[in-house]
Chains A and B, each alone.
Chain A
């Protein structure tokens, strides 16, 4: 038995438990089976909150950075980054209330975009402070 054959034999003698077969294609196909699951769950959570009132409002900074167009409804109260078209103005932050609509810019009109930076419910929509307005 030469050296090459010996090395091959050693490989084949490895314990069966050390050989793993990862079903990559199967895992990917599972992801594609529910492409909008996260979006669906997000909307479901919002509907459960009811009228914008929430004791356990989602805190802090947002990572998904979804952008919104002028005319779309504001789903969550909070701070939004405003991105103007053709840089007629640098990005800035504004507070938007849920139920309002994202407005057009007087300069770049409907080409303005809004990105959620941080959610925080309006104080009088919180159950510990409502009905005091």
Chain B
């Protein structure tokens, strides 16, 4: 599957996000697993209910569009 991680790497709150993509969020008891988009370079956040017990697993990797060579919009406008 395109973008799927080979081995399941589990991240916890405070870890640096290694890849932009959709992560499965695993809470401790209070809520079922759900998906969330998280960006590379951010820190995995803690949950307001289960705190640092929350875990994250990369489900599908994909680059943010502005990081893509065909869509970069950070060039200075022509004068």
- Measured as residues with beta carbon below 8 angstroms from the partner, the interface class of chain B is 20 to 34
Taking CB atoms, residues of chain B closer than 8 Å to A129 are 36, 45, 47-48
Residues of B within 8 A of A (CB): 2-3, 20-23, 25, 27, 31, 34-39, 45-49, 60, 62-66, 68-73
Taking CB atoms, residues of chain B closer than 8 Å to A124 are 45
Identify the stretch in A8-16, A24-32, A39-47, A89-97 within 8 Å (CB) of chain B at 4 or more residues: A89-97
Taking CB atoms, residues of chain A closer than 8 Å to B49 are 128
Please tell me if the beta carbons of B65 and A95 are within 8 angstroms of each other in the complex: yes
Q: A57 CA to B69 CA in the complex, in Å?
A: 30
Please tell me if the beta carbons of B70 and A122 are within 8 angstroms of each other in the complex: no
Using A132-B45, A132-B46 as known contacts, say yes or no to A93 and B62 having CB atoms under 8 A apart.
yes
Q: Interface size (A, Cβ < 8 Å)?
A: 32
Please tell me if the beta carbons of A126 and B36 are within 8 angstroms of each other in the complex: yes
State how many angstroms separate the Cβ of B68 from the closest Cβ of chain A. 6
Q: A97 CA to B23 CA in the complex, in Å?
A: 15
Question: Which chain B residue has the least Cβ–Cβ distance from A89?
Answer: B70
**B37, B47, B63, B65: the one within 8 Å of A120 (CB):** B37
Q: A77 CA to B20 CA in the complex, in Å?
A: 13
State how many angstroms separate the Cβ of A123 from the closest Cβ of chain B. 4
